[in-house]
Amino acid sequence: MVSAEPDPILQPFDAAEASAVRLASLTGVDRHDVAVVLGSGWKPAADRLGTTVAEIPLAQLGGFAPVAVAGHGDTVRSIRCGDRHLLAFTGRTHLYEGHRPATVVHGIRTAVRAGCSVVVLTNACGGIRPGLGVGEAVLVSDHINLTGTNPLLGPNDDRLGARFPDMTDAYSARLRGLARAAAPDLAEAVYAGFLGPTYETPAEVDMARRLGADLVGMSTVLETIAAVHAGAEVLAFSLVTNLAAGLSGEALDHADVLDVAASAALSTGDLIAAVVPSL
């Protein structure tokens, strides 16, 4: 009788461990160093990160929900970048698809169990702060979690991390310094994560601004929490694909988001590849 695979909701550590073991077997790479999660429209950036050793459908790893949002891939690549082994997730799942928080962060937990001590997150976002231009890559310096949930809800498994993780330096100052050394003109900004899938209303954008946010989006914050909980350092890049609702006078459209992201993905992929050897 074949035993059932561990459930990432009920058995998050065991599920991540099982996926990591399967990843090593399928890629032939025993241990990876850095994980990169590519957001909406960012998939072409994977081609700039180094030499692909293997590309595996996420479904073969167990525990991953199907990727169903346009602009996101459904594979993970094992990539050689200098003397580092990268895991590049070509897409992600989101809360707004109806998934539980533990499902959304299963890839992060798998990457940490696979050896990754650094997690690089990317996303497409709306810009609030004046001066942040469409098509500009921005370093995330902090976040505001407006999703209404947290991947650490429920009983804590000490094998994943401490019950009350410190989020003071969630977006590693050390890693941000390395990124700015590679690209001195990078701006830094605070990201507000909403549940979605609706774009924010102008009033919600104004609220986020008053709370201290410079960017708005529908991802990243839960993955950051899970990575920090697991002991990894986080570096996050947001690509401003549109001005947030009410700031441009134009309606927001996901197709436009993908167009802007695709046009900037290769250059931003080069930036990530330049930073990775020093991480």
Residues 6+ away with beta carbon under 8 Å from 216 = 125, 126, 128, 191, 192, 194, 200, 204, 205, 208, 244
Count of residues making up the chain:
279
Going from the C-alpha of 102 to that of each of 130, 150, 205, 212, the distances in angstroms are 35, 9, 27, 27
Q: Are 239 and 42 spatial neighbours (Cβ–Cβ below 8 Å)?
A: yes
Q: What share of the chain is helix, strand, coil (3-state, %, to 5)?
A: 35, 25, 40
Closest CA to 125 of 110, 115, 113, 135: 135
- Non-local (6+) Cβ contacts of 93 within 8 A are 64, 65, 66, 67, 68, 69, 99, 103, 104
Catalytic residues: 40, 72, 94, 96-97, 124, 218-219, 242, 254
Q: How far is CA 145 from CA 75, 192, 225, 236, 253, in A?
A: 27, 6, 10, 15, 23
Amino acid occupying residue 54: A
Closest CA to 238 of 171, 191, 273: 191
State which amino acid sits at residue 216: V
